[in-house]
Amino acid sequence: MAKKFDVAVIGAGPGGYIAAIRAAQLGLNTVCIDEFKSEDGKPSLGGTCLNVGCIPSKALLESSENYERALHKFADHGIKCKDVSLDVATMLGRKDNIVQQFTGGIALLFKKNKVASVHGHGRLTGAGDYYRIAVTRDNGSETIDAKHVIIATGSLPRQIEGITVDNVRICDNVGALSLKDVPGKLGVIGAGVIGLEMGSVWRRLGSEVTVLEALPTFLAAADDAVAREALRIFTKTVGLDIKLGCRIGSVETGKKSISVEFEYEGESRKLTFDRLVVAVGRVPNTEGLGVESVGVKTDERGFIEVDERNRTGVPNIYAIGDVVRGPMLAHKSSEEGVAVAETIAGQHGHVNLETIPWVIYTSPEIAWVGKTEQQLKAEGVEYRSGQFPFIVSGRARALGETAGFVKMLADAKSDRILGVHILGPFASELIAEAVVAMEFGATAEDIARIVHAHPSLSEAMHEAALGVDKRFLSL
Ligand SMILES: Cc1cc2nc3c(=O)[nH]c(=O)nc-3n(C[C@H](O)[C@H](O)[C@H](O)COP(=O)(O)OP(=O)(O)OC[C@H]3O[C@@H](n4cnc5c(N)ncnc54)[C@H](O)[C@@H]3O)c2cc1C
């Protein structure tokens, strides 16, 4: 006999678990179905983000940065560290603990909010008064009927034909977050967010890292000025060997090494690595989901088609997060989850995709919101810009992190902020001010007139806003 619910959420990543909690808070009888299992084979809530994405990668980025500070940066402060050494097992253990605390925390949140949690693979099997979902798992199966369905099945790493990921020698994000020792030579295919973050971790821990990127431009989605300066810093200071415009040929796994043949600058090349990370983007996950049985459509790239309110076009079926259009970011998934739960409850849920902050947790960090300068040019929008370097910031100097800048773009006539681009320390935190400003329709002058604490990194945002009107006070 099928269990009946008002709402069934398929997937318990940051999109699905937040959608389920919000739906339950709004009085809807809600179930969340998720199939993710941790390395030890146990169900683990939180999806890619908590298990093998945002959280573990940030834990390792922090650990590896501390190691690098101890080796190379503390001396400037007069702190002498002798015999600095690395214990990778402890570092990985710390990361795993953080992950477990968060994934376990979701189970508690489900209990607190009265969300029914079901482990297993959910497959839509048909529609009547209710949508029917068959849930299968190793030790059994069950059937769930729901009036409303929220698909939040996320994404999977994109595969390259001819390269077999075993997550020991050739890794995707899962293996790259769990390498048991520091590879002498690490190859990374793909200079996107994940490739750069993983490359940074292992570079700081001592690997020689080569990043092979197919596109001729670096970080094409970022503002050109940020991408140019980031490429300079990542190659010259961080020590990543980034090769753009590569055409990957054959990849062969030998007894001890992996050799990669590729074309670069018109020549055939071959490099040998101890480990290879494949990070060439992610694809929407609709594997075995049975969307066709209820008439939900996917586009040519496999994304579930939705409108601006995440409706699939099939009554009462919604899709959110990585499995639909828009940036593949955890906070975007979560906000769509909230909006859809509120829509189901009769409210007017909505997410503004124009003000989603993007962050890359390299060192220095990269963050932006809104339009890039090249987008504004292409759209023929008249704009003014202000750019303020962190080298002039007292706080950045005190931190010893002076690379990068804040760049603000504002409409030439109305002065309304159109985009903010940051390369520098704590860019991930600083961008929040720009997001708030843009959501409130602020002008550059508004930010210029707001008092910013001194000495703080946020003064760079203030100065960039002043710079839009060409009246820097500290430059
Ligand atoms: C290494 C890495 C680092 C990242 N860092 C960041 C970051 O710093 N910031 C950021 O914003 N984003 C980051 N991301 C991206 C972020 O993880 C995703 O955007 C986010 O997890 C998407 O959330 P989601 O809920 O849509 O899907 P997911 O998190 O992918 O969750 C989907 C869940 O659904 C389950 N599922 C799928 N199909 C079924 C089914 N049929 N039945 C039952 N369960 C199913 C999956 O097992 C999974 O648990 C990172 C990603 C990676 C890989």
Q: Give 200's pLDDT tier (boundaries 50, 70, 90).
A: very high
pLDDT in tens, 390-401: 999 999 999 999
User: How far apart, in Å, are the Cα atoms of 276 and each of 51, 179, 256, 262, 339?
Assistant: 21, 11, 12, 14, 39
Residue 91 in this model has a pLDDT that exceeds 90: yes
Smallest CA separation from ligand 1 atom 1, residue: 53
Distance (Å) from CA 283 to ligand 1 centroid: 11
Ligand 1 binding pocket includes 48 (Cβ within 6 Å): yes
By most ligand atoms within 8 Å of CB, the mutation choice from 9, 33, 44, 49 for ligand 1 is: 49
Tokens of 167: 């997550």
Report whether pLDDT(255) > 90: no
Position 426 pLDDT exceeds 90: yes
Cα 322 to ligand 1 centre (Å): 7
Contacts with 195 (C-beta within 8 Å, 6 or more apart), sequence order: 188, 189, 211, 213, 277, 279, 280
Kindly tell me if the per-residue pLDDT of 1 is higher than 90. no
* CA 398–ligand 1 middle distance (angstroms): 37
Whether ligand 1 lies within 6 angstroms of the CB of 14 is answered as yes
User: Does any ligand 1 atom lie closer than 6 A to the CB of residue 15?
Assistant: yes
Question: What is the rounded average pLDDT of the residues 158-166?
Answer: 95
| Whether residue 260 has its Cβ less than 6 Å from ligand 1 | no
Look at residue 215 in the predicted model and tell me its pLDDT.
Answer: 97
Mean pLDDT of the region 83-105: 97
Tell me, yes or no, if 452 is annotated catalytic: no
3-state SS string for 54-84: HHHHHHHHHHHHHHHHHHHHHHHHCCCCCCC
Whole-angstrom Cα distance, residue 195 to residue 266?
24
Give the tens place of pLDDT for each residue, 283-325: 999 999 999 999 999 999 999 999 999 999 999 999 999 999 9
Kindly state if the Cβ of 333 falls inside 6 Å of ligand 1.
Answer: yes
d(CA 421, CA 223) in angstroms, rounded, equals 7
pLDDT tens figures, 204-248: 999 999 999 999 999 999 999 999 999 999 999 999 999 999 999
